[in-house]
């Protein structure tokens, strides 16, 4: 049963976002889109569980969770796939490279963001089988760079791709700066790709001990160059500060957390995805797949009392993953549940050949990514500062709750539907259960809750979209202001003062010191706390988290000592994150005197700091 009155709970920004990007054909109400996606998520192998569909609809229309963009946009339609992201392997031969380009075209045009690992490609100047010299990996990345411009990510944005390489690859220094317009050969620039660097614990130890680091050709296994490890680390931080990237992936931390059953199969994580929250194994036979949606932590006090809620979401994501597999392959003729790749690919459906590796990976591990949003909004609703032990306590409470119930749900599904072939003997349906995506669009739809697990960037700002500009206020702060100031005129004047202070209340006298602590913006929060919360919750996250870091550039007039302190702070935060976490996403920086509009950033190269549209939701 659809309750159209629930449309009234959406604000104008939320409604316009839904209308612009999510409605299908004759849909005119948000509730219709929610109901369509709920029915889709409640359908398994062609049979719909309408009781589950009703519960999913009630959850989403009360903003307890939100479907990812591909599910809400494409679920129950012929528009595209329900899958958010793909991670694919790049082999060193011409045939493997050509296959990679072909697979990218299919994945990008169907709506998925892509992450590819290039660390196995022989380096520039090494010999090929024909006796010629290799041009290295970057010219082939340039092909992908052009490819992403040619193929749309669904109907709303061009294809998006993140290239990854290893800190030991001989081309890593050039790779780091390939998104900079200035310097170097323009033909070896990839301005339309995102990129990330895989660091290892051995590299971090070399940095700590000020040792040299060998850059090793992946084909010959010989050292091509030796560089000071600290120089490489500083170069990585410098380019992140300048362009926001590369992402930093601690590939050892990722692989150490891989389920033992997958390690026993010889599987290995080689990269992350476009938004750095997916950490699944890839190889010549596997293109990793993840199906996402996010709970709204702002409503934690409500849904945590309903033990069926998390179980229903896990079931929903497993249903949707099964739909993706069934659309790609005729499983009825597969001849055994635990099938190998050679047998599997013989049963791929006509026209779905481009999804063979993705369907096989989904079939083998059935990994899903249940994420979260609203972390900071919940804290503020309870007058809890982001920096402190009370936030740490809620962090543990929320994510231990989600993980415990998600595991129980996967065990129940295993009893009903069987184990994923990769994890036979574990008693679970899904190899991975949790991953925290950026989910910016979902947070907008959920009445402006804080995105993902990150702090709020400003208490008031202007958000520009295709449908217009919206002045967005922190709703918890708005409630506080209404209590403190009775006159509407004075309230508006106070909001203007906050706006003039770049969304900050730190210099506004009407607020107490305690309130100023609660409503600190992302730039005002010590980023060590961002890392600390991420580190503490990582125990409950099967995959990873999109962890953004926020910094304010020092004023140019500041004494050298102040600049040195800033650089040391940036380095310390990154060092802590690179050692303790699986991944670091964007380096977000604002000038000391920025504009009111948080969409205006420090000048950077033309590729915007935008999440993959699939992971946004």
Phi, psi of 548 (to 5 degrees): -85, 145
Residue 601 has pLDDT above 60, yes or no: no
Residue 425 has pLDDT above 70, yes or no: yes
The reported pLDDT for the residue numbered 128 is 66
Residue 57 CB-density burial (10 A; 0-12 exposed, 13-18 middle, 19+ buried): buried
Residue 549's H or E segment, with its range, is strand 549-552
Active site residue 273: yes
Give me the mean pLDDT over the 593-604 stretch: 37
Structure token digits, residue 293: 């949606």
- Condensed to tens digits (0 to 9), the pLDDT of residues 253-297 reads 999 999 999 999 999 999 999 999 999 999 999 999 989 999 999
- Condensed to tens digits (0 to 9), the pLDDT of residues 442-454 reads 999 999 999 999 9
- Condensed to tens digits (0 to 9), the pLDDT of residues 386-423 reads 999 999 999 999 999 999 999 999 999 999 999 999 99
Q: Decide if 186 contacts 159 (C-beta within 8 A).
A: no
Q: Decide if 166 contacts 250 (C-beta within 8 A).
A: no
* Higher per-residue confidence, 91 vs 594: 91
Residue 152 has pLDDT above 80, yes or no: no
- Condensed to tens digits (0 to 9), the pLDDT of residues 229-254 reads 999 999 999 999 999 999 999 999 99
Residue 594 has pLDDT above 70, yes or no: no
pLDDT-derived band at 133, boundaries 50, 70, 90 = confident
The reported pLDDT for the residue numbered 576 is 98
The reported pLDDT for the residue numbered 536 is 98
Active site residue 299: no
Q: Decide if 607 contacts 179 (C-beta within 8 A).
A: yes
Contacts from 5-12 at CB under 8 Å and sequence distance 24+?
6/30, 6/31, 6/61, 6/62, 7/31, 9/61, 9/63, 9/447, 10/445, 10/447, 11/447, 11/448, 12/470
The Cα–Cα gap between 387 and 174 comes to 38
The Cα–Cα gap between 33 and 72 comes to 7
Residue 554's H or E segment, with its range, is none
Q: Of the listed 147, 277, 419, 524, which one is catalytic?
A: 277
The Cα–Cα gap between 558 and 546 comes to 32
pLDDT-derived band at 131, boundaries 50, 70, 90 = low
pLDDT-derived band at 329, boundaries 50, 70, 90 = confident
Residue 444's H or E segment, with its range, is helix 440-445
Q: Of the listed 192, 253, 273, 395, which one is catalytic?
A: 273
pLDDT-derived band at 49, boundaries 50, 70, 90 = very high
All structural domains of the chain with their residue ranges: 87-264
Give me the mean pLDDT over the 4-28 stretch: 85
pLDDT-derived band at 154, boundaries 50, 70, 90 = low
Q: Of the listed 85, 254, 275, 299, which one is catalytic?
A: 275
In CATH, 87-264 is 3.40.47.10:
no
pTM of model > 0.85: yes
- Condensed to tens digits (0 to 9), the pLDDT of residues 553-563 reads 887 657 677 77
Residue 23 has pLDDT above 60, yes or no: yes
Give me the mean pLDDT over the 473-498 stretch: 94
Give me the mean pLDDT over the 203-213 stretch: 98
Q: Decide if 434 contacts 426 (C-beta within 8 A).
A: no
Residue 348 Rama label (left phi>0; alpha psi -120 to 50; beta): beta
Give me the mean pLDDT over the 304-310 stretch: 97
Active site residue 497: no
Phi, psi of 437 (to 5 degrees): -90, 170
* Higher per-residue confidence, 157 vs 88: 88
Q: Cβ neighbours of residue 128 under 8 Å, at least 6 residues apart? A: 122, 134
The reported pLDDT for the residue numbered 158 is 64
The reported pLDDT for the residue numbered 595 is 31
Taking alpha carbons only, the member of 460, 462, 448 closest to residue 597 is 462
Across the chain, mean pLDDT equals 90
The reported pLDDT for the residue numbered 19 is 83
Q: Decide if 434 contacts 541 (C-beta within 8 A).
A: yes
Structure token digits, residue 41: 């998520």
């Amino acid at each position: 049963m659809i309750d159209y009155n629930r449309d009234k709970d959406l604000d104008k920004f939320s409604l316009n976002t839904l209308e612009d990007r999510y409605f299908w054909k004759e849909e005119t109400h948000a509730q219709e889109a929610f109901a369509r996606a709920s029915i889709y998520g409640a359908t398994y192998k062609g049979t719909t569980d309408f009781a589950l569909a009703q519960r999913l609809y009630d959850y989403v229309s009360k903003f307890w969770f939100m479907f990812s963009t591909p599910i809400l946009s494409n679920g129950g339609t012929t528009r595209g796939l329900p899958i958010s992201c793909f991670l694919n392997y790049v082999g060193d031969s011409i045939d493997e490279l050509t296959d990679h380009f072909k697979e990218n075209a299919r994945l990008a045009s169907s709506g998925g963001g892509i992450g590819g690992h290039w660390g196995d490609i022989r380096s520039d100047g090494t010999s090929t089988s024909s006796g010629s010299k290799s041009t290295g990996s970057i010219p082939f990345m340039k092909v992908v760079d052009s490819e992403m411009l040619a193929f749309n990510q669904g109907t709303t944005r061009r294809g998006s791709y993140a290239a990854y390489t290893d800190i030991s690859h001989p081309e890593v220094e050039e790779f780091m700066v390939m998104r900079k317009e200035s310097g170097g050969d323009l033909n070896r620039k990839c301005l339309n790709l995102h990129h990330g660097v895989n660091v290892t614990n051995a590299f971090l130890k070399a940095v700590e001990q000020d040792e040299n680091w060998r850059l090793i050709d992946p084909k010959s296994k010989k050292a091509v160059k030796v560089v000071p490890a600290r120089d490489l680390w500083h170069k990585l931080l410098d380019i992140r500060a300048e362009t926001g990237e590369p992402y930093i992936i601690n590939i050892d931390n990722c692989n150490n957390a891989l389920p033992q059953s997958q390690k026993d199969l010889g599987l290995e994580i080689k990269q992350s995805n476009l938004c750095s929250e997916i950490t699944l194994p890839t190889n010549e036979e596997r293109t990793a797949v993840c199906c996402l949606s996010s709970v709204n932590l702002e409503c934690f006090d409500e849904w945590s009392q309903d033990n069926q809620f998390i179980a229903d979401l896990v079931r929903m994501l497993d249903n949707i993953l099964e739909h993706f597999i069934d659309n790609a392959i005729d499983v009825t003729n597969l001849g055994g549940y635990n099938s190998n790749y050679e047998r599997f690919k013989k049963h791929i459906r006509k026209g779905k050949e481009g999804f063979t590796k993705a369907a096989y990976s989904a079939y083998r591990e059935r990994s899903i990514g249940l994420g979260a949003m609203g972390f900071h909004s919940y804290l503020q609703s309870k007058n809890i500062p982001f920096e402190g032990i009370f936030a740490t306590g809620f962090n543990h409470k929320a994510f231990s709750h989600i993980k415990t119930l998600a595991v129980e749900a996967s065990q129940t599904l295993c009893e009903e539907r069987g184990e994923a072939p990769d994890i036979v003997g574990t008693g679970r349906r899904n190899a991975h259960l949790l991953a925290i995506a950026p989910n910016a669009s979902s947070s907008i739809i959920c009445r402006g809750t804080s995105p993902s697990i990150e702090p709020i960037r400003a208490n008031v700002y202007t958000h520009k979209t295709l449908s217009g500009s919206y002045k967005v206020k922190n709703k918890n702060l708005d409630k506080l202001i209404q209590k403190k100031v009775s006159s509407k005129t004075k309230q508006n004047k106070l909001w203007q003062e906050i706006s003039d202070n770049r969304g900050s209340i730190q210099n506004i006298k009407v607020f107490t010191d305690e309130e100023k602590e609660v409503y600190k913006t992302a730039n005002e929060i010590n980023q060590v706390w961002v890392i600390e919360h991420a580190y503490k919750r990582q125990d409950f996250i099967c995959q990873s988290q999109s962890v953004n870091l926020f910094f304010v550039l020092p004023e140019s007039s500041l004494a050298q000592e102040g600049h040195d302190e800033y650089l040391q702070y940036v380095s310390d935060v990154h060092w802590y994150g690179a050692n303790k976490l699986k991944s670091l996403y964007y380096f977000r920086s604002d000038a000391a005197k920025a504009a009111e509009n948080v969409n205006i950033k420090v000048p950077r190269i033309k590729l915007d700091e935008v999440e993959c549209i699939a992971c946004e939701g």
